[in-house]
Amino acid sequence: MDCTFCLDCVHACPHENVGVTSRLPGSELMTDTLRSGIGYFSRRKDIGALVIVFVFGALVNAFGMVSPVYAVEAWLGKVISTTLKAPVLGIIFAAFLILAPLILLGGAAWTARKLSGRKSTMGTMALRYSYALAPLGLGMWLAHYGFHFFTGILTIVPVTQATLASLGINILGGPFWTWTGIASRFVQPIELGFLVLGFAGSLTVAHHLAQEDCPERPIRVFAPWFACCAIIGAASVWLMFQPMEMRAMLMGG
């Protein structure tokens, strides 16, 4: 989190004291040490807010591209008596990016605080454990855009053929517009793999933080955050199995 690859450290310590090495993904989220550039994670509400938007933004982004969103939009339009899309979309965004985080993170923080008997506030605990959701959010983004990538990976062939043909170069023939990509039934296991890896990463981070906060009974802190991750993970799996609609984003009617 501190490194911007400016390489000033190489000039400061030129005697083989600095290296760019690999490490376990997500390991930096497991510790709340003082960092030279950003301080403590648990005190950075701005970074915590970014993590929350990153995670729940993955859900609303995917929800805006599946069939059930039309039914929800129609129902909300009737409830608030409007045919305008802006207020309906505003409610959907608020539900995913404000209401859902408040309920899930607030509920998990309150439960963990009660079970563990810790004196920290709900806000402090929610902020500390919000970073544990980052791997799950990453898994959702990879699963979602992995679907688009793999199901359309072969379209580069007909697009290239059509481009060359428009320039009068027909050496590649075609274009073969039936070439699209891998069938969705073969892509779904890849999507599930991304989600499982993200879920496992979030549980690992949450459990490590729980062991630090309550070493005598870490399960009391970990259990509510396990439930929080499980709900987000289940929602992610449900979204991945919904029929995909052909529109670029939530705002595109």
Residue 248 located in a structural domain? no
Respond yes or no on whether the N-terminal peptide bond of residue 158 is cis (omega within 30° of 0).
no
* Range with lowest mean pLDDT among 126-140, 168-182, 198-212: 168-182
The answer to whether the CB of 127 falls within 8 A of the CB of 48 is yes
Residue 24 located in a structural domain? no
Parent domain of 136: 45-240
Residue 36 located in a structural domain? no
Residue 1 located in a structural domain? no
Q: How many folded domains does the chain comprise?
A: 1
Residue 247: predicted pLDDT: 52
Percent of the chain past pLDDT 90, that is, above it, reads 50
- Cβ-based burial of 179 (10 A; exposed 0-12, middle 13-18, buried ≥19): middle
Residue 210 located in a structural domain? yes
Residue 162 located in a structural domain? yes
Residue 68 located in a structural domain? yes
What is the C-alpha to C-alpha distance for residues 138 and 169, in angstroms, rounded to an integer?
A: 42
The answer, yes or no, to whether residue 250 has pLDDT greater than 50, is no
* Range with lowest mean pLDDT among 78-82, 116-120, 154-158, 187-191: 116-120
Residue 135 located in a structural domain? yes
Residue 6: predicted pLDDT: 80
